[in-house]
């Protein structure tokens, strides 16, 4: 059962027609934890910069990442 569930998860990841297209929602509770309190801090800006950098890195290397995932799915 484990192998079948992992295979299904990988197929779901590789199926771009079914990906979630809703925007990321940052709740006030999440912002509170990131900031360490109510007031905006540099930690929040660092979080935003890190997320944007990660998104851009994944987008720039999408073809290679997809190729690796497809190779792993055949194991």
CA torsion 13-60-54-12 (nearest 10°) is: 0
Is position 51 within any domain?
yes
Largest CA distance in the chain: 49
What is the domain range of residue 59? 22-73
Is position 63 within any domain?
yes
Domain count, the chain: 1
| Mean pLDDT in order along the chain per 10 residues (75 residues) | 47 55 81 89 90 91 91 80
Is position 11 within any domain?
no
pTM of the model: 0.56
Is position 32 within any domain?
yes
Quick one: tokens of 20?
């979630």
């Amino acid at each position: 059962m484990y192998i079948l569930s992992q295979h299904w998860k990988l197929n779901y990841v590789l199926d771009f027609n079914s990906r979630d297209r809703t925007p990321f929602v940052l709740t006030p509770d999440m912002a509170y934890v990131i900031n360490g309190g109510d007031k905006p801090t540099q930690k929040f800006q660092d979080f935003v910069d890190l997320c944007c950098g990660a998104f851009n890195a994944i987008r720039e290397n999408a073809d290679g990442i997809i190729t690796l995932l497809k190779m792993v799915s055949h194991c």
